[in-house]
Structure 1
Amino acid sequence: MTLIRIVKDWDWPDLMRQTPGQRGIWDGIQFTLDDTEECDFLIMLNNRMKIPTRVKCPPENIWALMQEPYEEGFSDWMVEKHDLFFRVLTHHLPTNNAKYIASHPAIPWHVNRTFDQLTSCPIPEKVKNLSWIVGDAMDLPGHIKRWSFLESIKKKNLPIDVFGKKIHYIKDKWDGLAPYKYSLAIENNSGPYCWTEKLADCFLTWTIPFYYGCTNLEDYFPKESFVRIDINQPKKCLEKINDFIAEDRWEKAIPALEEARNLVLHKYQIFPHLSSLVSSHIDEKKEKKDITIPAYKRSAKAKMLRIKYKLKKKLGILGST
């Protein structure tokens, strides 16, 4: 059985819960998070490890998957120090080099449910209208823009239940989504390919997202499964939300939500996504070699960009040119 070692720099959520029986197997491929010395593929989630990674593996099978928004001076590891990666799956293509492959981030879902639970659960009872689970980070221009939109909502008294670490804490995102017909899903940035668990969690709970972020989302999901909004135009945005809720379109959207949900579970989440990409590259004849991927250290250019970024953040001008 082909063995894929996943290297990541975060602890939660548990990736293996996204496989049947939490066994880490998908389409006959075994995935592991262990520091196994030898594997058939190694896939690093984000090129920002603080310690070296050592493995015996075919050099052609050393890949990376980028899962964060790209912002110059903040996530420069997404565009540099990629010499040892034969493939880089990313929503931000830094060059036209063939090693870079356009890909959504395949971030794990955050609702506290396993794959088996999600594939067997019925549609939850929808007893409430609108929610928003909003993060408290303020590191990116997108974070600041999102909080500005939240202030606009407060001023207009939009009937919405808002959850977050600093607002109304809930332990499980399921509780802030499953009882609701609609929810806001606002990404940290806007661009092609980059949709995250903010969207996926809505689909997994049969909740229609009012969505801002990925500009080619229709290439992934049926257009009836979500509602596009533009948080740069708060007034029009709020009018659109109110009108859609007033028309109560949730029940009509159930078939589209079901399709989107199945796409998340069986195609776009990390295990089917990687299995599909890897399957055409499996070759037992490839020679395995001892490889060390060094810890990420910023280049001189990245260090200067980081200083500039921190200064702009301190001055409150993130997002300006």
Structure 2
Amino acid sequence: MSLKTVGMISGYRNLNKRGDWLWQQTPHPFGVWGNIQMQALAEKPDFLLMYQFDFPKKNQPQSWLDKLRRKHPKPKINVESLIRNVPQERIIYLLREPPLDEVIETTKHNYQQAKQYCGYVSGPDDFAPTPDYMPAIWYHSNSFRELNEMPIPEKVSACSWITSGINRSVNHRRRLQFLELLQSSEVQCHLYGRDLPQWAESSGELGNKWYGMSPYYYNLSIENYAENDWYVSEKLWDALLAWCLPIYYGGAAADKLLPPGSFLRLPSLDEKGIAYIKEVTATPDAWYAAKDAIAEARQIILHKLNLLNWLSNFVSQS
């Protein structure tokens, strides 16, 4: 069977130079999974994935702040040159950011533009052309074989939270308020992350999330958005792959994708939520009770929800 190559272009700038993007999500060399080979930078791919790609807005006026920040005009994006002559029916658009109020107009613009170039357009919101869950990616540096075959890592601490200081939206600021409330409580939770506020008692940024998750029984997995039935992110996948029991705040998507008992529901981002975290993390009992469900969830993430598996199925049906 000849492999079909899948190229990629993204609005995440750091991904566009990654020739090995997603290679850690397969046990095979060079990004092979089933009938596909992920070759993000391929000049003439058989299929093209536009992953959270932001289409340029025509005739968008610049604010005085934009002009102040940019001494030179922002280079124009030529979409036709990026799609590498891939036929429209073989171009996939997957949007993965949540539909926050602050970005809905941009998201709708991206969907409208994507329909002109792509045969399949999807995102985790009700107004997407094809509403659907996001296929899973994760942010551990471990190989697929390690994650798939490893024994349970040694657990020595109660709870961790890996987050950031991003405060661009109301939801981001609400999460930071909960962080402040958590740190003023008696809950023992180790904090890691980037760009956190000066008042945050953080253990610093991590080069590999594994080290801030695998030694812990529990992990706070708090989404930036919890208001629909589609959105669920790597926050949950990363925790489970590290054999943590997630204390999860998010929408209903997780309940539909993962087995019962593989995560706990944080009831709210307030004093009630703090009390719940304190009660659960006081002992590892809940983790031991969930161990089998965590093992099952990990296999679902690695083999079924995996973005490479999703792409392979798409190619098979094309």
TM-score (norm 2): 0.80
- Provide the C-alpha distance between the structure 2 equivalents of 1:67 and 1:194, rounded to a whole number of angstroms: 8
Using the TM superposition, give the Cα deviation of residue 77 of structure 1 relative to its aligned residue in structure 2, in angstroms: 3.9
Count of aligned pairs:
275
Identity %: 28
Using the TM superposition, give the Cα deviation of residue 51 of structure 1 relative to its aligned residue in structure 2, in angstroms: 4.7
RMSD: 2.0
Aligned to 2:54: 48
Using the TM superposition, give the Cα deviation of residue 226 of structure 1 relative to its aligned residue in structure 2, in angstroms: 0.4
Amino acid at match of 1:85: C
Aligned to 2:38: 31
SS in 2 for 1:7: strand
The Cα offsets for residues 209-239 of structure 1, whole Å up to 9 and x where unpaired, read as: 100113231110012010111334x222122
SS in 2 for 1:214: coil
Amino acid at match of 2:272: K
Aligned to 1:7: 9
8 Å contact kept, 1:140–1:188:
no
Aligned to 1:84: 117
For residues 1-321 of structure 1, the aligned pairs below 5 Å read 1-10=3-12, 11=14, 14-37=21-44, 39-48=45-54, 50-52=77-79, 53-74=82-103, 76-80=105-109, 81-82=113-114, 83-94=116-127, 100-106=129-135, 108-165=137-194, 166=196, 167-169=202-204, 170-190=206-226, 191-232=228-269, 234-246=270-282, 248-281=285-318
Moved over 4 A (4+): none
Using the TM superposition, give the Cα deviation of residue 194 of structure 1 relative to its aligned residue in structure 2, in angstroms: 1.2
Deviates more, 1:218-227 or 1:8-17: 8-17
Name stretches of at least 5 consecutive residues in structure 2 with no aligned partner. Answer: 56-76, 197-201
8 Å contact kept, 1:67–1:107:
no
Amino acid at match of 1:183: N
Structure number with greater CO (CA < 8 Å, separation at least 6) is 1
Using the TM superposition, give the Cα deviation of residue 163 of structure 1 relative to its aligned residue in structure 2, in angstroms: 1.2
TM-score (norm 1): 0.79
Using the TM superposition, give the Cα deviation of residue 25 of structure 1 relative to its aligned residue in structure 2, in angstroms: 1.1
Name stretches of at least 5 consecutive residues in structure 1 with no aligned partner. Answer: 282-321
Using the TM superposition, give the Cα deviation of residue 141 of structure 1 relative to its aligned residue in structure 2, in angstroms: 2.0
